[in-house]
């Protein structure tokens, strides 16, 4: 089983600099199996490791995979322009872990957002070649019509796109809202497609990525939780 010095473990989990982590250990703030470990050089097996810090139990995670219900008026950027960064909704140690959003949602778009510190995972999920289906609920300015739905299903031409873009699925929910599934992941795609089809998007919420749904996660706006490795497989499946 892999093992690391305790100060390196704390640093890897986002609890600060090596110097600060060593001080936490020397002060007796880090407990394993209820026993304080005061020597930072102590080698600890990381497999299934749990430790207590400031009376809170933590589990060692080589990488973190986070599902967040993004509220409106947050930017998916570490250098935001006009609104606070979405990373402000996470504990401070996540910044030390250098997590970043997987793709982006506009500041006024809400819903399911993935966040991770696993570069390979971020790249794979962000790649348009994977055609990961993303499900949205869009609110429209004008009433939803059969002609609008047909245009979105058949494909609409967007500026700077060589070919029309079509929804994989599209259905009316009520007079001013529809559900739409896209696979391409183009910039502002839902809003631009609605505009090209003669309507205007007034609100947008992403409710699923692959088979991972916001409803199943049970997250209220602004809430987050870790995703387990077993749940990541749902990203490659279809939501019901």
Active-site residue numbers?
106
> Which tokens hold the place of 12?
């890897």
Closest listed residue to residue 157, CA positions, set 197, 117, 213, 106? 197
Give the three-class secondary structure for 202: strand
What are the CA-CA distances from residue 210 to residues 43, 69, 128, 155, 223 (Å)? Answer: 40, 16, 14, 21, 20
> Which tokens hold the place of 140?
């429209």
Could you count the other beta carbons within 10 Å of the beta carbon of residue 183? 16
> Can you give the C-alpha Rg of the chain in angstroms?
22
Q: Distance between CA 218 and CA 238 in Å, rounded?
A: 18
User: Strands 109-116 and 65-70, how do they pair?
Assistant: antiparallel
Q: Apex CA 85: angle with CA 12 and CA 212, to 5°?
A: 75
- State the DSSP string of 110-154: EEEEEEES-HHHHHHHH-GGG---EEEEEEESSPP-HHHHHHHHH
């Amino acid at each position: 089983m892999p093992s690391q010095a305790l100060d390196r473990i704390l640093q890897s989990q986002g609890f600060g600099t090596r110097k600060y982590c060593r001080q936490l250990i020397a002060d007796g703030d880090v407990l394993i199996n209820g026993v304080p470990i005061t020597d930072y050089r102590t080698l600890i097996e990381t497999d299934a490791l749990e430790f207590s810090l400031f009376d809170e139990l933590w589990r060692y995670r080589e990488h973190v995979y986070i599902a967040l219900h993004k509220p409106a008026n947050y930017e998916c950027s570490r250098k935001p322009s006009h609104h606070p960064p979405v990373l402000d909704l996470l504990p401070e140690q996540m910044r030390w872990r250098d997590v970043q959003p997987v793709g982006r949602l506009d500041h006024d778009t809400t819903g399911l957002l993935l966040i991770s510190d696993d570069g390979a995972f971020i790249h794979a999920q962000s790649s348009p070649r994977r055609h990961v289906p993303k499900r949205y609920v869009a609110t429209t300015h004008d009433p939803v019509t059969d002609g609008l739905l047909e245009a979105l299903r058949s494909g609409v031409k967007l500026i700077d796109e060589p070919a029309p873009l079509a929804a994989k699925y599209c259905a009316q929910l009520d007079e001013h809202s529809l559900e739409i599934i896209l696979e391409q992941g183009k910039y502002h795609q839902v809003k631009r497609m609605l505009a090209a089809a003669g309507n205007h998007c007034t609100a947008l919420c992403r409710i699923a990525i692959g088979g991972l749904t916001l409803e199943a996660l049970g997250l209220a706006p602004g809430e987050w939780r870790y995703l387990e490795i077993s749940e990541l497989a749902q990203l490659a499946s279809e939501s019901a």
